[in-house]
Homo-oligomer: A and B are copies of this chain.
């Protein structure tokens, strides 16, 4: 592995920031945290075949490796500043690396994020990113600060990434496809192939290129009580807020926001399953007192991103998903398997 060639390629494309005293190329980076700011650190690893399908385009892997970490910072209400990248590659591959850095760099540039260090090693394809952000003291959004009576909100729409993954798995797994016969699928009648393809591409883009809600996370400081980003699935992740806050939650299934593509491709109950327990959304879920509803609607309008009230924080320790008739919804046991751990 020509580690130093790879590092040179990476360095040539890094964003420049004044607060980077010493960047890539030494044993460590030296960084100047501005006075009056706390440091927020998040780290996530993506492994080939576990966190993304093995045939994912390198640029999409680069984008996603950064996006999942930016999503963590967004959920903390932090402003992205610097990151390190550890890249394990089976063999040196300049073309792959250039593609990867295209996607990684595109998102880093959008957020003014400087790559300040890392290492490249030989090994099964794996990408580990550690992201550093800044936050005003005491203003970070936490999981443990929900209050009974809070509304529960989510940004964007839910279930698209899980839908794309389900379609991918069904294409490759005839047995699974049979299970899926139970629910309506993509429009497959004659003449509808192109519509089906367009639908699939819209869903796939949400799996490959999640958009971290960094700006929204920043504006939620002082408005949201608790926040988390949705990576494992809504009910599971909301459960972490509840566990940390010592409370329960009720979620209205019918209120879960769905994209037009998801509505076209999947009807309930499969759609509800994709939205409630599918993963890889990388949207924010947060709680806020009801009096903040107006300000949250303004934030949504300013950002051009829907933010939807989907339930409420209640006493107790359960996360309940409720059907329109008030009955508890029981997640189906089959249909797709979650790709990510």
Chain A residues close to B by CB (< 8 Å): 1, 3, 21-22, 25-33, 35, 38-51, 71-73, 75-76, 78, 82, 84-86, 88, 116-124, 126, 128, 130-133, 135, 137, 140, 142-144, 227-229, 244, 341
Contacts and interface: CB of A to CB of B under 8 A. Distances in A.
B30 A39 contact: yes
Which 3 pairs show the lowest CB-CB distances between chains A and B?
Answer: A47-B123, A28-B42, A128-B128
Chain A interface mostly? strand
Contacts of A228: 27
A227 to B, nearest CB: 8
23 contacts: A26-B76, A26-B142, A26-B143, A27-B71, A27-B72, A27-B76, A28-B133, A28-B140, A29-B41, A29-B42, A30-B135, A31-B38, A31-B41, A35-B35, A39-B132, A43-B119, A45-B88, A50-B122, A50-B123, A51-B121, A123-B124, A123-B126, A128-B128
A75 B29 CA distance: 12
A331 to B, nearest CB: 18
Contact of A22 (B75, B84, B142, B229): B142
Contacts of A124: 47, 123-124, 126
Nearest to A143: B26
B30 A86 contact: no
